[in-house]
């Protein structure tokens, strides 16, 4: 490796790992794992995301500032997702209006 640039072997290895994770994602989609469906899908997604960030976005061989900025962006994304999910989970469902109350023009 020269000047922090990944070799083509690293890119091929990352590509093979992403394809393997894609295959696992497809297989997991056909298997009913009950309550574990979401955690397994999220773990696979996190693994793919980390591979893409670390190798294709050149964070792995980047400076400390690159790591801080990538970490801050990831932290901000997680914060927004958590806040959106808390809003979603605290809403009460609204019953639909009966068809007899619908007025057509």
Distances (CA, A) of 55 to 24, 43, 61, 76, 86: 20, 18, 8, 21, 32
Give ∠ CA 32-37-43 in degrees, rounded to 5: 140
Q: What is the pLDDT of residue 102?
A: 65
Q: What is the pTM of this model?
A: 0.67
Q: Answer whether residue 1 shows pLDDT above 60.
A: no
Domain that holds residue 57: 8-62
**In a domain? residue 34:** yes
DSSP string, 23-46: HHHHHHHHS--GGGHHHHHHHHHH
Q: How many domains in the chain?
A: 1
**In a domain? residue 68:** no
Per-residue pLDDT reduced to its tens digit, 54-104 = 888 888 888 899 899 999 998 998 899 899 989 888 887 777 767 676 676
**In a domain? residue 53:** yes
Contact 85, 38 (CB under 8 A): no
Structure tokens at 65: 């500032």
**In a domain? residue 1:** no
Contact 66, 59 (CB under 8 A): yes
């Amino acid at each position: 490796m020269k000047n922090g640039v990944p070799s083509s072997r690293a890119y091929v290895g990352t590509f093979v790992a992403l394809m393997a994770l894609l295959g696992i994602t497809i297989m997991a989609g056909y298997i009913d794992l009950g309550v574990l469906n979401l955690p397994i899908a999220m773990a696979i997604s996190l693994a793919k995301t980390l591979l893409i960030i670390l190798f294709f976005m050149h964070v792995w061989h980047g400076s400390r500032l690159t790591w801080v900025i990538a970490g801050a962006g990831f932290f901000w994304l997680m914060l927004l997702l958590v806040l959106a999910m808390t809003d979603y989970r605290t809403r009460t469902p609204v019953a639909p209006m009966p068809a007899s109350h619908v007025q057509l023009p």
